[in-house]
Chain A
Amino acid sequence: MNNKFKKNKLGQTGDTITWLVATVVIIVVLTVSIFAASIFFDKNKSLKSGTFESADTLASKSLFSYVITKDSNGKVVYEQLKEEENLGDFDGKLSVKIFIDLYKKEYLTIWAGFFIDRTVSPYLSNEYFGARVFKDEDRLITEEIKLKEDKSLFLDLSKAAYSK
């Protein structure tokens, strides 16, 4: 009889310890979760302009005004770009003045230049913007102006930094 009581007591102690440990584990897991939730979720959720945008209205307007600008001889930049092999003196310097000066604070990498469809490396490097170095096309804002059937002017803007 004595042995039987002893056995029961041992069983009850084992059960109690199991529940006690389980309770402690549950409370610890919940405390950690609540603590993590209050740290990570307590800040305001913010929707940035780049969350949805794949275009920049102001850069697009600048590009459009750029191609209709006339040089001192009255020749429109669009016509110059159509004829040139690469960015020339007037349109090259003007593009740097517009796109680098106005947008360098907002974008870390800016490139403007020709896209020639028939060549192996279609994006031509130029002396004003260098070679096109963008790797992550998803994060890129691209504006294109068609010059000829196989030739376009590209303006690429990225908030990511790429080394040249």
Chain B
Amino acid sequence: MKIIKNKIGADKIISVYWFVILFIVAAAIAYMVISFYGKPYDIRELEANALTNRIADCVSEGGYIRNEVLVQTFRENFLEQCNLNFEVEDTYGWKEQGQFYAEIEIFDFNSKGKISGMSGGNSNLKEFCEVKGEKIPFCLKRSFYVIDKKNAQYQVNILSIVRKTEKNEQ
């Protein structure tokens, strides 16, 4: 009788032990899954690339620079001209502080003299391109070669910056 009682006690202790171990293992697995899937994907490089490609499509057409690109009215509101919308979701106070910046510089391909330039968005982001560190905006500077109908050669530099640092820590 004494022996039977002891057995039941031991079984109960082992059951409690198993539940504790089961809970610990489940909690550990949940922590590991959350630490992997809980972090957001940083797609700012893709965003900046998409923005750069969109601007390049706006500046050149069929291998030639668009005539209106060098005109004053295009320079003044190039975001509208290129159908770019820098509106963002209203989180982290993003509405008050622009999250995008785009800049176009057009140079003579041979002399490298600047012919034209235009920009749109939050120009304060530009200063972060030279800085290295955490929580800084992503900058992408790219160039391409283009000519006009008179065979004048140009180099177009496009600078695209995406901020969104609150969601993405570099």
List chain A positions with a Cβ less than 8 A from chain B: 19, 23, 26-27, 30, 33-34, 37-38, 41-49, 57-59, 61-62, 64-70, 97-98, 102, 106
Flag if A65 contacts B39 (CB, 8 Å).
Answer: no
Residues of A within 8 A of B52 (CB): 57-58
Partner of A23, one of B21, B143, B146, B153: B21
Instruction: From A19, A45, A58, give the contact of B53 (CB < 8 A).
Output: A58
Q: How far apart sit A141 and B169, CA to CA, in the bound complex (Å)?
A: 30
Q: Is the CB of B142 within 8 A of A58?
A: yes
Chain B count of residues within 8 A CB distance of the other chain:
40
Q: Are A58 and B143 closer than 8 Å at their CB atoms?
A: yes
Q: How many A-B residue pairs have CB under 8 A?
A: 98
B41 touches A46 (CB 8 A): yes
> Could you tell me if A102 and B39 are in contact, using CB atoms closer than 8 angstroms?
no
Cβ contact within 8 Å between B147 and A57:
no
Complex: how many Å from CA A46 to CA B64? 35
Contacts of A48 in B (CB 8 A): 45-46
Whether B143 and A102, one on each chain, are in contact in the complex, defined by CB atoms closer than 8 angstroms, is yes
Specify which of A26, A37, A70 lies most central, judged by the most chain B CB atoms within 10 Å of its CB: A37
| Cα A160 to Cα B52 with chains together (Å) | 23
User: Per a CB cutoff under 8 Å, which of B28, B62, B109, B170 touches A33?
Assistant: B28
Given contacts A45-B39, A57-B53, A70-B151, 16 further A-B contacts (CB under 8 A): A19-B17, A23-B21, A33-B32, A37-B36, A41-B39, A44-B40, A47-B46, A48-B46, A59-B144, A61-B63, A61-B145, A64-B62, A65-B60, A65-B147, A102-B143, A102-B145
**Bound CA–CA A37/B109 (angstroms):** 50
Contact flag A61-B144 (CB < 8 Å), given A41-B35, A45-B39? yes
Pick the contact of A26: B21, B60, B147 (CB < 8 A). B21
Please name all residues of chain A whose beta carbon is closer than 8 Å to the beta carbon of B53 when the two chains form the complex.
57-58
A49: chain B residues within 8 A (beta carbon): 45-46, 49
Complex CA–CA separation, A98 to B35 (angstroms): 45
Least CB distance, A7 to chain B, in whole angstroms = 12
Question: 18 A-B Cβ contacts within 8 A?
Answer: A19-B17, A23-B17, A30-B24, A34-B32, A41-B35, A41-B36, A42-B39, A47-B42, A47-B46, A48-B46, A49-B45, A58-B52, A61-B144, A62-B145, A65-B63, A65-B145, A66-B145, A69-B153
Contact B42 A62 (CB under 8 A): no
A58 to B143, CA, bound (A): 7
B170 partner residues in chain A, CB cutoff 8 A: 44
| Cα(A133)–Cα(B41), bound, Å | 34
